[in-house]
Amino acid sequence: MQFRGLLKEPLVHFLIGGALLFAFFAWRGEEVDPTSRTITITEKQVGQLAANWAQVWRREPSPQELDGLIRDYVKEEIYYREGLRLGLDQDDAIIRRRLRSKMEYLAAAEVENRAVDDAVLQAWYQKNQTRYAEGSRFSFDQIYLMANDPDQAQARSKTMLADLAQGADWKGLGDPLSVARSMEEQDQSRIATDFGDAFASTLATLKGSAWQGPIQSGFGLHLVRVRKVTPGTLPPLASVRQRVENDWRAATAKDREAKAYQALLDGYRIRIEKP
């Protein structure tokens, strides 16, 4: 009964809010002992507080401002420990979700910061060489879909692809656009000028001569048919390595994160008791 009465106290509500706000976003160098009544602010922590301030405000904090930062940190630490003493970190769905989000962020950051093996990049480079060949030229047709309503444009694109597969006349489909429906032997720089860099980069990755898409441009969505590719000169990997690595990371991010999670999962034994 005393505990139920305690939960009705405004101070307890305030502690709950403070714990949720501070517990998982505060930086810490070591595990906190909630039973301890001693709070030690180290020189390193003070330096970090000052550095965080400088990063936001583009200047060093004044002595008075630094004292205020330290007082805020002490206040945060007190509420954090009181929250732990009340067991507010136990069996809380919000805390579980925030911990999951933080762990997913840390896991993704670890995966993203790993060095890429040269052999992996070389294989990716060879597989996608039309994207990096200098002087490649493309002959293609495009059908423009106005994307004021993206969901509607996506639905239209599926219907059009089905119609095109049945032999529909592509010239009668789509919406009017100021650029030509067909281009002949155009290099990527010209295509990027007319449609945007994203469109030009995606166009270079398309395989085959069938209608594909939709792909995004600066205008909206397009269905595209690449009729001919005239390969250019492929530069050595070393001269475009950073670009290749950036593209590889973007294209493989989900797969690499899934493998990282699987490695964690493999370290656990899962037992499921169904009703």
User: For the chain (length 275 residues), average pLDDT per consecutive 10?
Assistant: 46 44 46 72 90 91 91 86 79 80 80 84 87 86 87 88 92 90 90 91 87 91 92 87 89 85 80 69
In angstroms, the CA 27 to CA 243 distance is 34
Beta 221-230 vs 137-145: how paired, if at all?
A: antiparallel
pLDDT for the residue 92: 79
Cβ neighbour number for residue 121 with a 10 Å cutoff: 16
CA dist 184 and 141 (Å) reads 9
| The pLDDT value given to residue 210 | 92
Say what the pLDDT of residue 20 is.
Answer: 43
- As assigned by CATH, the class of the 135-230 domain is alpha beta
pTM over 0.85: no
Contact 182, 140 (CB under 8 A): yes
Residue 33 identity (one-letter amino acid): D
Residue 65 confidence (pLDDT): 92
| Strand-pair category, 221-230 with 182-187 | unpaired
Give the per-residue pLDDT at 31. 57
Give the C-alpha separation, 238 to 74, whole Å.
Answer: 51
Question: Looking at beta carbons, which pairs linking 60-63 to residues 24 or more positions away fall under 8 Å?
Answer: none
